[in-house]
Every structure is written in structure tokens, then in C-alpha cells.
Chain A
Amino acid sequence: MLQKFLIGIDRFSMAVGHAFAWCILILTLGTSYEVFMRYVLNNPTSWAFDMSYILYGGLFIMSGAYALSRNAHVRGDVLFRLLRPRAQAAIELVLYFIFFYPGVTALIIAGYGYAHDSFGYREVSVNSPVGVPIWQLKALIPLAGTMLFIQGIAQVIRCILCLQTGHWPSQLHDVEELESMLQHEHEAQAAEKGGQ
């Protein structure tokens, strides 16, 4: 039941992260189109520059919770790695309350005010006369903060579960980096050979 709830949160973060991940494809094609228009047809677009950072900004900010759920944020974990799961969970649980929630909560509060002001006068970009709206990009800041806050709840519960049971509860998996995928395959093959 609890496990289902945790995986549900992972799935939510992942779905949002995956959805915003496709920005990269639009960014690639859109920017290539702009280059084509400028050099081949000598007719640059007026929106390409604003489009590029809006897609890039949306892409990374909304993938923050997804990256957290897949443990992709860098850590200085030279020592941390060597600890037993229970010790890791104890440290992490404390640090979530000291170093995660204050910052993320501030991001939600600050981002809300910031986006609210921007929405108030329907802020547009000053980079081109077309007036590409950018208040929606600012509105992503409190949203991204909220997503992190929710994913953080799942991580905190996982710490508590790990304190009780002594091993880390499972998380949702999707794609792995190529090197870790190949390492797993290699280990599995080696284990198979060893078993024979």
C-alpha cells in the first residue's frame, strides 16, 4: 500500500519529466529550422531565440523532480557510499529537513510571488518585437518547486522505511545511462557463468 503510494509519486514525477523532456526534440528541430531560414532563405525568424531558452528552461526546471526520483542529482558521496543503508538513511533523513525542505519551500514561495507579478502584467520578452510571452516560463518555477516538494515526501518516507528494514525500498526505473546498463548486463552474464 505504502509502496504503491511511493511508486505513484515516482510515476508522477517521471511522467512530468518525460513530458518536458520532449522539449529537446522541438528545440533541436526549431533551432535547425531557424538556421535553415537564415542561411538558405536569408529570412531569419523573429521567435527562434525566445523559443530556444523557453524550451531549455522548461526542460531542465521541470525535470528536477524526475532527476531526484532517479537519484540523478550529483552528490559528494565518496564516504556516503561506504556506509550501510541504515546509516545512509539516517543521515539523509536529517539532511532532507535541514537542506532540502527550506530551500525548496523558499523556491515555491519566492517563485509564486515572482510568477504572480509577471502574470499581472502578462510579461513578454524584450528580445524581439513579436512579444513572446515569458510569464508562463516564470510560472514553472513554483510548479517545479512543488514537484520537488512532493518527490521529497516520497524520498523521506523511503528513508524511514530503510531505517526500519535496513535496506532501501525499490524505486521506479526507466532508462539507465548506457554505462550502467552495460555494467548490469556484464554482471548478470558473469553471475550466469559462475552459476554453471
Chain B
Amino acid sequence: MTNPQLALLMLGSFIFIILAGFPIAFTLMAMGVMFGYYAYYVPGQDFFDSRVFYLLSQNTFSIMNNDVLTAVPLFLFMGYMIERSNILDRLFHSLQVALRAIPGAMAVAALVTCALFATATGIVGAVVTLMGLLAFPAMLKAGYDQKLSSGVICAGGTLGILIPPSIMLIVYGATSAVSVVRLYAAALVPGFLLAGLYVAYVIVLTTIKPKLAPKLPREQTDIPWSKVAVMLFQAFVPLAVLILSVLGAILFGLATPSEAAAIGALGAMVLAMAYRAFTWGRLKEAVFLTARTSAMVCWLFVGSWTFSSIFSYLGGEGLIKDFVLGLNLNTLTFLLLSQLIIFLLGWPLEWSEIIIIFVPIFLPLLPHFNVDPMFFGILVALNLQTSFLTPPMAMSAYYLKGIAPKHVLLWTIFKGCFPFLAMVFVTMFLVYVFPQIVFWLPNLFYGN
């Protein structure tokens, strides 16, 4: 068997094996080692002298001293700490009364709360579940439409993986060697654009059909503005300041993403103390969950880098390149095809697997189609929003279904997500047609 054929076998069998449900990090590592042993086999060589062993430890160590990935556990820790700081209900209530004058006030408040909280924690499941227990019953009780209520919570919670400081963009930075700072600057405008479209959709819809979102009875919202200001100051302002200082420190070059994340984690602990939510038990929970999730993400990198270094040694990358170039695609059709593949992969897989394992297959092709890897990353980040919202595997919808009242059907939640899904595609289209949405801020800050 020739080397490229072997590479093809490697990729083909991997895609099949991944569906067998074994932990992917170890599958990748073992396949890398086995194919690598065969590829580097020198007759007469001692078993342990095979070059593959050196490659394996070299790859493992390069993940261990990777200064981009250092930010991953720190941001996770910040998120787990904020999750446990009792801030969410205050945040939702303060925004709800502050926004009472606009149509669909509760839905907009839920959307903004989800977006802000998800941005700070970066953990989609927790946001959707917490809001599903807090805001969802409140909205249903106020007579809000089931579809609208579920849509805002699912879509709002998912924004956390897109709007910086997001862990997904750090992981993309580590895979693509694009600077995380530039990625953050690039994601800011598209992120706010998408969030803005969500809010605009809710306001327009509830203006046209007011019965989807009845106004709350007067006595519940009749709170003087001075009191509202105090509520906002207690809940909204501290969290917003925390996010903005972390993001600002990164964007203005005052600190590296890891340093800013450490400050953010410290700030999250202070915040938890201020809300009297800082206990020994909660700190332990946050610390242990951080270790577990970091292990999950970083071991996936260990497996993937081992796999892909063998894959490219066997000439697999060249094979894919020849194949794709042979399709005579132009930039538009290449982008459409690659985004379609990523969209489909989003059904069975999670964002971490897609970015760490599958996105590297596309990266070497980008120069041939004149696509900037940063631009591609933003499209991927937008696209992966859909993986949480598209049936049949919409994770956000399942999180909500898990804690929603029995009479709310899964299908209703799916239907509630559809308009927001459409908004994601609109944003991707806008980003493609007006690339300045992505490039404007990074070019302004850091030049070309």
C-alpha cells in the first residue's frame, strides 16, 4: 500500500470509527501511533526506536507548553465561578424591569441576560438550563408564546461560544495559528450583529403580534426608576464591567488572553464573594469541573495533533488538496461546500471535536482560495451556533426540554429555534457579502 492510500484509509476508517462512540481523544492517539509505526517502519530497527514514539511525546509536550491553550482552563474556571455566583436571577429581574417599556420586554430581557451570562461563562448548557428554570416558567406564566420563549433562551444561551472572550475562539486560534487577539477583535462586530438581529426580531415580532408577549400587569412592573437603577447597578453593571475589562485588556494589548483570563477568574471569585455565594463547596466544584473539562479539550488536542502529524507525513493533506483543487471550485463554492460540511458535522459532533479535528483539514486549502483564516474562523464560529439549534441534535433544545414543564413539547422548542437559525444564516451571508464586518475592527486596532 502506498503512503497516500494509507492516509486515505486512516481518514476513512476514522470517520467510521468515531461513530462507534469510543472517547475520541484516545481513538485518535491510537490510530496515530499504529499508522505512524507502519509509516516510520525501518526494517531491522528495534521496536522502541521507532520515530513514532518520539513524535507522540513531542506532540503531547507541545500541547502541555502551549501558551495559547493556557487560557482555556482559566476561562473555564471564570465561567464555573460566575455560574455559581447567584448573579443570574438578579440580572434577569433587573433587565426585565429596565426594559419594561419595549414590546416583548421579558423575551428581550431573557435574550440579553442569556447573551451576557453566556459570554461571561462560555458554557452553553448551564446558561440554557438555568434560564430554563428561571425565565422560561416566568415567561409562560405571563402568557408568552411557548415557541418564542424557548427560542430566545436556546439562541441567547448559544451566543456564549461566539461573543468574545469565548473559549471556542482560543481553541480555533491554537489550531489555526491565527492570533487570538485578532480573532476576538474580528468576532466582536459579527457577534453583536447576530445578537442585535435576535433582539430586533423579537421586538418586531411582538409589535406585530402583541398577543405572543402580553404586557405584565402594572403592579409587577411599577417600580420607580431610581430603584431600577440600583438593581441594574447591583447585577448588570458588575458583570458587564468584568467582561469589558477582560476583553478590553486583551484588545488593547494590555495583557495576553491568559493573563486577562486569570484576572477574569479572580474577578469572578470576588463577584461571588460580593453576592455572598462564595463557599468552600462551590469553589471545589468549580475547580474540579475546570480540571475535567480542560482534560477533555486538551487531550483531544493531544490525540488530534498526533493523528494529523502522521496523516500529513503520509501525504494525506496533499491528497485532499489535489482532490479539492480538482473540483475546480471558486472561492464562493469552496466556502459554501466547507461550511455545509461543518454544518452537517454539527449534528453528531460538538464544537470542540469539529474545531480540533475537522477544521485543520480545511485550513491548508484556504490560501488557494484566497480566504483569510481569521475570516474563515468567524464563519465557522457563526456556523457552529447552528449545531446547538438544528434538529435532530440541537443540544440547546435538549437542555431546555430536560427542565421544561412536561406540556412543552420538544418539537415546539425546535420550532422556536428556527427563526433564530435563519438569523444565523443571514449573518453568515452578510459577513460574506460585507467582509468589512469581520476585518474592520482588527484592521483598525492592529493594522493589516
Q: Which residues of A contact B (CB under 8 A)?
A: 17-18, 20-25, 27-32, 34-35, 39, 49, 52-54, 56-61, 63-64, 66-68, 70, 72-81, 88, 91-92, 95-96, 98-104, 106-107, 109-111, 113-114, 134, 137-138, 140-141, 174-175, 177-179, 182-183, 186, 190
Contacts and interface: CB of A to CB of B under 8 A. Distances in A.
Interface of B: 17-27, 29-34, 48, 52-54, 56-58, 60-61, 63-67, 69-70, 72-74, 77, 83-84, 123, 125-126, 128-130, 133, 254-255, 258-259, 262-263, 265-266, 269, 283-285, 287-300, 303, 347-350, 352-353, 393, 399, 402-403, 406
Nearest to B56: A110
29 contacts: A17-B295, A18-B291, A21-B291, A23-B291, A24-B77, A24-B294, A27-B73, A28-B266, A52-B258, A63-B295, A72-B293, A73-B296, A74-B352, A76-B349, A80-B20, A80-B21, A101-B30, A103-B33, A104-B26, A106-B30, A111-B56, A113-B57, A114-B57, A137-B64, A138-B57, A174-B288, A178-B123, A179-B402, A182-B130
Nearest to A138: B61
Given A102-B34, A178-B129, A53 B65 contact: yes
Contact of B19 (A35, A60, A78): A78
Contacts of B20: 76, 79-80, 91, 95
B23 A35 contact: no
Contacts of B352: 74
A31 B262 contact: yes
Contact of A75 (B23, B83, B263): B23
Nearest to B49: A113
B216 to A, nearest CB: 25
Contacts of A137: 61, 64-65
Contacts of A174: 288
A76 B20 CA distance: 7
Contacts of B30: 98-104, 106
Nearest to B281: A175
- Residue among A29, A34, A107 with most chain B CB within 10 A: A107
B34 A32 contact: no
B53 A106 contact: yes
Given A21-B287, A34-B259, A35-B255, A74 B296 contact: yes
Majority SS at the chain B contact face: helix
**Ordered nearest first, which 7 A-B pairs have the shortest CB separation?**
A80-B21, A57-B64, A103-B30, A31-B262, A21-B291, A110-B53, A103-B29
B292 A70 contact: yes
Contacts of A99: 17, 22, 26-27, 30-31
A96 B262 CA distance: 37
B289 A177 contact: yes
B420 to A, nearest CB: 20
A49 B325 CA distance: 42
A186 B262 contact: no
A101 B29 CA distance: 10
Nearest to A76: B18
Nearest to A183: B402
- Residue among B60, B263, B283, B350 with most chain A CB within 10 A: B60
Nearest to A67: B295
A110 B17 CA distance: 25
A107 B60 contact: yes
A89 B296 CA distance: 22
A67 B61 contact: no
- Residue among A56, A107, A109, A174 with most chain B CB within 10 A: A56
Nearest to B249: A35
Contact of B292 (A17, A91, A102): A17
Given A64-B295, A91-B20, A110 B57 contact: yes
A90 B262 CA distance: 44
B299 A64 contact: yes
Contact of A107 (B23, B29, B297): B29
A39 B254 contact: yes
Given A35-B262, A56-B73, A74-B23, A24 B32 contact: no
Nearest to B348: A78
Contacts of A34: 259
Given A32-B266, A52-B258, A79-B19, A72 B26 contact: no
Given A28-B266, A72-B293, 11 more contacts: A28-B77, A54-B65, A60-B291, A73-B299, A74-B24, A74-B352, A75-B21, A103-B31, A106-B52, A113-B54, A179-B399
Contacts of A182: 129-130, 133, 403
